[in-house]
């Protein structure tokens, strides 16, 4: 138990069908961290591999007690694998890497240096990109959109080489493609985020599990994160605004149709579709308002159950002693 408490760094590595890569990857990581005079562990999460990855990892764990292997029954995706690794990791800090030899373990000290400087999250920033022109272009566009939507000036969201304070990860939900967006999810906790330049090496074995289509899923998850960051404690502001706009637009069309009717125009033959559109807008607006009110009730019920009125976390409390307290002492 004391050994677990003394672990300083946990290196979490999700792998899927990387039987040729995991052994040399482990050797490079071991050589680097052995030179760092701090206790560490390596947590491999085998995400339902169908090749010999599980057997190779089992052999590594049998010769090094610092290696932990978790095998999932089926391929569940990188976010799930990282979430499992985070729950198993025992270190004060967690470093995530890909096990395909594209991340260079010799750059781990750069991340540790930034953590020692007080940063909560350290993100790798690729200064080289081994992908095709289409992949590089789509990555650049996706990074710019993510930075704009989240308000965090991170230049490379997709790289899996990152470092975190472990206490942050316990409060961040990870599913879908949200492993890329952990800095955005942690933003409301007032974290300090920085980047360090890294070199991504060309893949030596196997095939890439990511493509351009995966970025569409990431952008959809960004919408989720944007909503959580801005409207988590006030959903009525989101649904209510959309509802009011919809009701206003429908009412505007309805009053215009009423005016046309009063001026002698036959509404149904000439403006039947507009009448239907007006009714649909008004009905949709009412439903959005009702949905916002229900969501607001759920939020209030949740936070009142926790003794809070809104999401917040106290970093510190400083209270000056009164004169009576000082005299009594």
Closest CA relative to residue 126, chosen from 179, 200, 211: 200
Chain segment 199-258, per-residue pLDDT in tens: 887 666 655 555 555 556 666 666 776 776 677 677 888 888 999 999 999 999 989 888
> What is the average pLDDT score of the chain?
80
Residues of the chain with confidence (pLDDT) below 70: 1-5, 129-133, 135, 150, 171-181, 184-190, 202-222, 225, 228-229, 232, 267, 269-270, 302-329
Hey, which residues does 10 pair with through a beta bridge? 41, 94
Beta strands in the chain (DSSP E): 9-15, 40-46, 67-71, 93-96, 121-126, 162-165, 193-198
Question: Parallel, antiparallel, or unpaired for β 162-165 and 121-126?
Answer: antiparallel
Q: What is the pLDDT of residue 1?
A: 43
- Tell me how far CA of residue 113 lies from CA of 11, 38, 109, 242, 306, in angstroms: 15, 13, 6, 46, 37
- The fold for domain 2-231 equals Spore Coat Polysaccharide Biosynthesis Protein SpsA; Chain A (3.90.550)
Tell me the two tokens of residue 69.
């292997």
Closest CA relative to residue 37, chosen from 66, 63, 10, 8: 8
Say if CB 196 and CB 122 are below 8 A apart: yes
What residues have CB less than 8 Å from 230, skipping those under 6 apart? 238
Strand order of the sheet with strand 9-15?
A: 67-71, 40-46, 9-15, 93-96, 162-165, 121-126, 193-198
What is the reported pTM?
A: 0.69
Question: Parallel, antiparallel, or unpaired for β 121-126 and 93-96?
Answer: unpaired
Question: Parallel, antiparallel, or unpaired for β 67-71 and 40-46?
Answer: parallel
Closest CA relative to residue 237, chosen from 291, 286, 184, 306: 291
List b or e across 51-62, with b for residues whose CB sees 16 or more CB atoms inside 10 angstroms.
eebbebbeebbe
31: helix, strand or coil: helix
- Tell me how far CA of residue 170 lies from CA of 89, 90, 138, 146, 182, in angstroms: 11, 12, 31, 23, 11
> pLDDT over 70 for what percent of the chain?
72
């Amino acid at each position: 138990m004391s050994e677990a408490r003394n672990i300083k760094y946990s290196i979490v590595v999700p792998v899927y069908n990387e039987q040729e890569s995991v052994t040399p990857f482990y050797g490079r990581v071991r050589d680097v961290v052995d030179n760092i005079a701090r206790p560490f562990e390596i947590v491999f999460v085998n995400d339902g591999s169908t090749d010999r990855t599980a057997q190779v990892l089992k052999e590594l764990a049998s010769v090094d007690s610092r290696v932990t292997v978790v095998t999932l029954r089926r391929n569940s995706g990188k976010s799930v694998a990282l979430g499992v690794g985070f729950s198993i990791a025992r270190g004060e800090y967690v470093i995530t890497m890909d096990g395909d030899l594209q991340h260079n373990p010799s750059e781990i000290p750069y991340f540790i240096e930034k953590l020692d400087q007080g940063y909560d999250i350290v993100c790798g920033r690729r200064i080289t990109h081994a992908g095709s022109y289409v992949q590089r272009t789509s990555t650049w566009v996706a990074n710019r959109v993510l930075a704009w939507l989240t308000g965090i000036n991170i230049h490379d969201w997709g790289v899996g080489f990152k470092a975190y304070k472990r206490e942050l990860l316990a409060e961040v939900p990870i599913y879908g493609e949200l492993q890329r967006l952990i800095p955005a999810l942690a933003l409301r906790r007032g974290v300090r985020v920085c980047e360090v330049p890294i070199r991504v090496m060309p893949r030596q074995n196997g095939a890439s599990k990511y493509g351009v289509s995966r970025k569409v899923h990431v952008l959809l998850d960004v919408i989720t994160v944007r909503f959580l960051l801005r409207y988590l404690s006030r959903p009525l502001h989101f649904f209510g605004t959309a509802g009011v706009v919809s009701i206003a637009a429908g009412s505007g069309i309805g009053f215009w149709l009423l005016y046309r009717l009063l001026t002698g125009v036959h509404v149904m033959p000439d403006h039947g579709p507009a009448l239907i559109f007006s009714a649909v807008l008004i009905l949709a607006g009412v439903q959005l308002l009702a949905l916002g009110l229900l969501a607001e009730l759920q939020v209030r019920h949740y936070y009142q159950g926790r003794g809070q009125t809104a999401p917040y976390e106290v970093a510190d409390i400083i209270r000056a002693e009164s004169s009576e307290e000082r005299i009594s002492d």
